Amino acid sequence: MSEEFRDIYYHQPFHDDVQSSAGENSSTYTQNLQMLDPSSYMDHFLHGSTDQNALSRAFGLTPSTSEPPVVDGGDSNKSKKENQHKECLEDHGDNSSKKEAKAKKKGEKNKQREPRFAFMTKSEVDLLEDGYRWRKYGQKAVKNSPYPRSYYRCTTQKCSVKKRVERSFQDPSTVITTYEGQHNHLVPATLRGNVGGIFPTSMLTPSLQLEGGTSFHAQLLQLHQMTNNHLYNYGSANNVYDQQNLTTLHQPQLPDSEYGLLQDMIPSFFPKHEP
Protein backbone atom coordinates (compact mmCIF):
# COMPACT_ATOMS: atom_id res chain seq x y z
CA MET A 1 0.00 0.00 0.00
CA SER A 2 2.87 2.24 0.53
CA GLU A 3 3.08 2.27 -3.19
CA GLU A 4 -0.35 3.60 -3.57
CA PHE A 5 0.18 6.54 -1.38
CA ARG A 6 3.72 7.23 -2.10
CA ASP A 7 3.73 10.94 -1.82
CA ILE A 8 2.19 13.28 0.58
CA TYR A 9 2.95 16.90 0.60
CA TYR A 10 1.90 19.64 2.78
CA HIS A 11 1.21 22.87 1.18
CA GLN A 12 0.52 25.93 3.17
CA PRO A 13 -0.33 28.99 1.23
CA PHE A 14 -1.27 32.35 2.48
CA HIS A 15 -4.75 33.55 2.76
CA ASP A 16 -5.34 37.14 2.39
CA ASP A 17 -8.71 37.42 0.94
CA VAL A 18 -10.78 34.40 0.61
CA GLN A 19 -13.80 34.01 -1.49
CA SER A 20 -15.69 30.97 -2.27
CA SER A 21 -14.69 29.70 -5.61
CA ALA A 22 -11.70 27.61 -6.20
CA GLY A 23 -10.40 29.75 -8.92
CA GLU A 24 -10.21 33.31 -7.86
CA ASN A 25 -9.78 33.04 -4.23
CA SER A 26 -7.15 31.20 -2.45
CA SER A 27 -5.30 34.10 -3.78
CA THR A 28 -2.54 32.69 -1.94
CA TYR A 29 0.93 31.95 -2.66
CA THR A 30 3.01 29.22 -1.47
CA GLN A 31 4.71 30.10 1.65
CA ASN A 32 5.86 26.98 3.16
CA LEU A 33 6.35 23.41 2.28
CA GLN A 34 6.60 20.84 4.93
CA MET A 35 5.38 17.53 5.87
CA LEU A 36 2.40 17.38 8.00
CA ASP A 37 2.61 15.67 11.26
CA PRO A 38 1.14 12.28 10.96
CA SER A 39 -2.48 12.59 11.72
CA SER A 40 -4.66 9.72 12.45
CA TYR A 41 -6.01 9.94 9.01
CA MET A 42 -2.67 10.01 7.41
CA ASP A 43 -1.02 7.45 9.52
CA HIS A 44 -1.24 4.91 6.84
CA PHE A 45 0.21 7.26 4.34
CA LEU A 46 3.27 8.43 6.02
CA HIS A 47 4.76 8.26 9.37
CA GLY A 48 7.21 10.58 10.91
CA SER A 49 8.67 11.85 7.72
CA THR A 50 10.77 14.89 7.39
CA ASP A 51 10.79 17.46 4.73
CA GLN A 52 13.67 15.90 3.04
CA ASN A 53 12.31 12.46 3.14
CA ALA A 54 9.04 13.57 1.82
CA LEU A 55 10.48 15.50 -0.99
CA SER A 56 12.90 12.85 -1.88
CA ARG A 57 10.14 10.36 -2.06
CA ALA A 58 8.07 12.73 -3.98
CA PHE A 59 10.72 12.96 -6.58
CA GLY A 60 11.20 9.29 -6.70
CA LEU A 61 14.61 9.61 -5.21
CA THR A 62 14.14 7.69 -2.10
CA PRO A 63 17.01 5.36 -1.70
CA SER A 64 15.46 2.01 -1.92
CA THR A 65 17.48 0.84 0.96
CA SER A 66 16.64 3.42 3.50
CA GLU A 67 13.60 3.82 5.57
CA PRO A 68 10.39 2.32 4.38
CA PRO A 69 8.57 5.24 2.94
CA VAL A 70 5.17 4.67 4.27
CA VAL A 71 4.90 2.32 7.08
CA ASP A 72 2.75 2.32 10.02
CA GLY A 73 2.58 -0.47 12.43
CA GLY A 74 -1.13 -0.54 12.52
CA ASP A 75 -1.95 0.03 8.96
CA SER A 76 -2.54 -3.50 7.98
CA ASN A 77 -6.20 -3.04 8.24
CA LYS A 78 -6.16 0.16 6.39
CA SER A 79 -3.99 -1.14 3.67
CA LYS A 80 -6.24 -4.03 3.14
CA LYS A 81 -9.11 -1.74 2.87
CA GLU A 82 -7.29 0.40 0.45
CA ASN A 83 -6.40 -2.52 -1.66
CA GLN A 84 -9.84 -3.76 -1.46
CA HIS A 85 -11.38 -0.62 -2.58
CA LYS A 86 -8.96 -0.54 -5.40
CA GLU A 87 -10.44 -3.70 -6.57
CA CYS A 88 -13.85 -2.26 -6.56
CA LEU A 89 -12.80 0.55 -8.73
CA GLU A 90 -13.45 1.26 -12.26
CA ASP A 91 -16.52 0.50 -14.10
CA HIS A 92 -17.84 2.96 -16.49
CA GLY A 93 -20.46 0.54 -17.45
CA ASP A 94 -23.29 2.43 -18.95
CA ASN A 95 -25.29 -0.65 -19.56
CA SER A 96 -28.48 -1.32 -17.83
CA SER A 97 -27.54 -4.30 -15.81
CA LYS A 98 -24.87 -3.05 -13.57
CA LYS A 99 -24.70 -6.25 -11.74
CA GLU A 100 -23.72 -8.24 -14.74
CA ALA A 101 -21.07 -5.81 -15.67
CA LYS A 102 -19.59 -5.87 -12.26
CA ALA A 103 -19.72 -9.58 -12.09
CA LYS A 104 -17.84 -9.77 -15.32
CA LYS A 105 -15.30 -7.27 -14.27
CA LYS A 106 -14.78 -9.17 -11.15
CA GLY A 107 -14.13 -12.30 -13.06
CA GLU A 108 -11.80 -10.60 -15.42
CA LYS A 109 -9.55 -9.48 -12.65
CA ASN A 110 -9.80 -5.99 -13.83
CA LYS A 111 -7.94 -4.87 -10.81
CA GLN A 112 -5.30 -2.57 -12.01
CA ARG A 113 -4.14 -0.34 -9.29
CA GLU A 114 -3.41 3.12 -10.36
CA PRO A 115 -0.66 4.98 -8.66
CA ARG A 116 -1.84 7.46 -6.16
CA PHE A 117 -0.47 10.72 -5.25
CA ALA A 118 -1.71 12.73 -2.35
CA PHE A 119 -0.89 15.97 -0.78
CA MET A 120 -2.28 18.29 1.77
CA THR A 121 -2.97 21.90 1.24
CA LYS A 122 -3.92 24.63 3.55
CA SER A 123 -6.83 26.15 1.84
CA GLU A 124 -10.29 27.33 2.44
CA VAL A 125 -11.23 25.90 -0.85
CA ASP A 126 -11.82 22.23 -1.16
CA LEU A 127 -11.35 21.81 -4.82
CA LEU A 128 -8.03 23.21 -5.78
CA GLU A 129 -7.54 24.02 -9.35
CA ASP A 130 -4.93 22.02 -11.10
CA GLY A 131 -5.72 22.81 -14.65
CA TYR A 132 -7.87 19.81 -15.34
CA ARG A 133 -11.56 19.61 -15.39
CA TRP A 134 -13.26 17.37 -12.92
CA ARG A 135 -16.71 16.02 -12.57
CA LYS A 136 -17.92 15.14 -9.16
CA TYR A 137 -19.40 11.71 -9.04
CA GLY A 138 -19.86 11.08 -5.42
CA GLN A 139 -19.60 12.24 -1.91
CA LYS A 140 -19.36 10.24 1.22
CA ALA A 141 -19.22 10.98 4.83
CA VAL A 142 -15.86 10.24 6.27
CA LYS A 143 -15.80 8.13 9.30
CA ASN A 144 -14.77 10.01 12.40
CA SER A 145 -14.79 13.22 10.52
CA PRO A 146 -17.42 15.89 10.17
CA TYR A 147 -16.18 16.63 6.72
CA PRO A 148 -17.31 14.69 3.70
CA ARG A 149 -15.07 13.27 1.05
CA SER A 150 -15.76 14.15 -2.51
CA TYR A 151 -14.97 12.03 -5.50
CA TYR A 152 -14.05 13.52 -8.82
CA ARG A 153 -13.26 12.13 -12.19
CA CYS A 154 -11.44 13.81 -14.98
CA THR A 155 -14.00 14.90 -17.51
CA THR A 156 -11.80 14.18 -20.45
CA GLN A 157 -12.95 11.16 -22.31
CA LYS A 158 -10.80 8.09 -22.02
CA CYS A 159 -9.04 9.60 -19.10
CA SER A 160 -9.80 7.72 -15.96
CA VAL A 161 -7.95 9.84 -13.51
CA LYS A 162 -9.76 10.36 -10.29
CA LYS A 163 -9.24 12.46 -7.33
CA ARG A 164 -10.56 12.54 -3.86
CA VAL A 165 -10.84 15.65 -1.84
CA GLU A 166 -11.50 15.85 1.79
CA ARG A 167 -10.80 18.16 4.61
CA SER A 168 -8.68 17.07 7.47
CA PHE A 169 -10.79 16.78 10.53
CA GLN A 170 -7.81 17.47 12.70
CA ASP A 171 -6.91 20.58 10.90
CA PRO A 172 -9.98 21.85 9.11
CA SER A 173 -7.91 24.35 7.27
CA THR A 174 -6.15 21.54 5.51
CA VAL A 175 -7.45 19.88 2.42
CA ILE A 176 -6.28 16.43 1.50
CA THR A 177 -6.26 15.80 -2.19
CA THR A 178 -5.54 12.38 -3.57
CA TYR A 179 -4.98 11.85 -7.23
CA GLU A 180 -5.27 8.46 -8.72
CA GLY A 181 -4.02 7.52 -12.10
CA GLN A 182 -2.34 9.36 -14.86
CA HIS A 183 -3.80 11.82 -17.25
CA ASN A 184 -3.36 10.58 -20.75
CA HIS A 185 -3.89 13.98 -22.22
CA LEU A 186 -2.77 17.49 -21.83
CA VAL A 187 -4.46 20.09 -19.77
CA PRO A 188 -7.69 21.28 -21.27
CA ALA A 189 -7.04 24.27 -23.39
CA THR A 190 -8.87 26.81 -21.36
CA LEU A 191 -9.97 27.20 -17.88
CA ARG A 192 -11.79 30.33 -17.08
CA GLY A 193 -10.05 31.89 -19.97
CA ASN A 194 -6.66 30.84 -18.82
CA VAL A 195 -4.44 27.98 -19.40
CA GLY A 196 -4.94 26.01 -16.31
CA GLY A 197 -2.36 24.65 -14.07
CA ILE A 198 0.18 22.24 -14.94
CA PHE A 199 1.67 21.89 -18.24
CA PRO A 200 1.57 24.30 -21.05
CA THR A 201 3.54 26.26 -18.65
CA SER A 202 4.99 29.13 -20.41
CA MET A 203 1.48 30.16 -21.15
CA LEU A 204 0.50 30.79 -17.61
CA THR A 205 -0.87 34.18 -17.06
CA PRO A 206 0.17 36.18 -14.08
CA SER A 207 -3.25 35.99 -12.60
CA LEU A 208 -3.20 32.31 -12.65
CA GLN A 209 0.26 32.15 -11.34
CA LEU A 210 -0.82 33.99 -8.32
CA GLU A 211 -3.25 31.36 -7.45
CA GLY A 212 -0.92 29.71 -5.14
CA GLY A 213 -2.83 26.55 -4.72
CA THR A 214 -3.12 26.11 -8.37
CA SER A 215 0.39 26.40 -9.45
CA PHE A 216 1.75 24.58 -6.55
CA HIS A 217 -0.51 21.68 -7.09
CA ALA A 218 0.24 21.83 -10.68
CA GLN A 219 3.88 21.62 -10.09
CA LEU A 220 3.62 18.82 -7.66
CA LEU A 221 1.58 16.90 -10.08
CA GLN A 222 3.90 17.60 -12.85
CA LEU A 223 6.78 16.62 -10.76
CA HIS A 224 5.17 13.44 -9.86
CA GLN A 225 4.35 12.58 -13.38
CA MET A 226 7.77 13.39 -14.61
CA THR A 227 9.74 11.67 -11.99
CA ASN A 228 7.73 8.62 -11.35
CA ASN A 229 6.24 7.96 -14.67
CA HIS A 230 7.79 8.17 -18.02
CA LEU A 231 4.73 7.61 -20.02
CA TYR A 232 3.79 11.17 -20.40
CA ASN A 233 5.85 13.97 -21.61
CA TYR A 234 4.72 17.45 -21.06
CA GLY A 235 7.73 19.17 -22.33
CA SER A 236 9.49 19.36 -19.09
CA ALA A 237 12.53 21.20 -20.18
CA ASN A 238 10.63 24.31 -20.89
CA ASN A 239 8.28 24.12 -18.04
CA VAL A 240 9.39 27.12 -16.19
CA TYR A 241 6.99 29.07 -14.15
CA ASP A 242 7.71 32.59 -13.38
CA GLN A 243 10.13 32.53 -10.62
CA GLN A 244 8.25 35.08 -8.63
CA ASN A 245 5.48 32.70 -8.25
CA LEU A 246 7.29 30.45 -5.94
CA THR A 247 9.97 32.48 -4.42
CA THR A 248 8.67 31.85 -0.99
CA LEU A 249 8.55 28.19 -1.40
CA HIS A 250 10.40 26.54 1.34
CA GLN A 251 13.52 25.30 -0.19
CA PRO A 252 13.95 21.63 0.27
CA GLN A 253 17.15 20.35 1.60
CA LEU A 254 18.31 17.63 -0.63
CA PRO A 255 21.69 16.23 -1.30
CA ASP A 256 23.45 18.22 -3.93
CA SER A 257 23.22 15.49 -6.43
CA GLU A 258 19.52 15.10 -6.09
CA TYR A 259 18.89 18.72 -5.77
CA GLY A 260 20.76 19.51 -8.89
CA LEU A 261 18.93 16.94 -10.83
CA LEU A 262 15.61 18.14 -9.68
CA GLN A 263 16.55 21.67 -10.32
CA ASP A 264 17.20 20.76 -13.85
CA MET A 265 13.92 19.07 -14.18
CA ILE A 266 11.71 21.56 -12.45
CA PRO A 267 13.62 24.74 -12.06
CA SER A 268 10.74 26.64 -10.67
CA PHE A 269 10.18 24.17 -7.98
CA PHE A 270 13.49 25.03 -6.50
CA PRO A 271 13.64 28.75 -6.43
CA LYS A 272 17.02 30.22 -6.11
CA HIS A 273 17.89 31.30 -2.71
CA GLU A 274 17.59 34.99 -2.54
CA PRO A 275 17.62 36.44 0.91
Return residues touching DNA (CB under 7 A): 77, 80-85, 87-96, 98-99, 102-103, 106, 133-140, 142-143, 149-152, 155, 162, 164
Cβ-based nearer residue to DNA, 95 or 238: 95
Q: Among residues 44, 49, 41, which one has the least CA distance to residue 9? A: 49
- Smaller CB distance to DNA: residue 87 or 242? 87
Residue 75's φ and ψ, nearest 5 degrees, are: -95, 10
Sign of CA dihedral 93, 105, 6, 171: positive
Shortest distance (Å) from residue 184 CB to DNA: 17
Q: Is 231 helix (H, G, I), strand (E, B) or coil?
A: coil
CA 169 to chain centre: 19
CB of 236 to DNA, least distance (A): 28
Q: Which is nearer to DNA, 108 or 256 (CB)?
A: 108
User: Which CB, 91 or 258, lies closer to DNA?
Assistant: 91
Residue whose CB is less far from DNA, 90 or 242: 90
Q: How far is the CB of 244 from DNA (least distance, A)?
A: 30
CB 162 within 8 A of CB 139: no
- CA-to-CA separations, 197 to 159, 201, 211, 216, in angstroms, rounded: 17, 8, 9, 9
Q: How far is the CB of 217 from DNA (least distance, A)?
A: 17
Residue 123 Cβ vs DNA, minimum distance, rounded to whole Å: 16
**Distance of alpha carbon 62 from its chain centroid, rounded?**
18
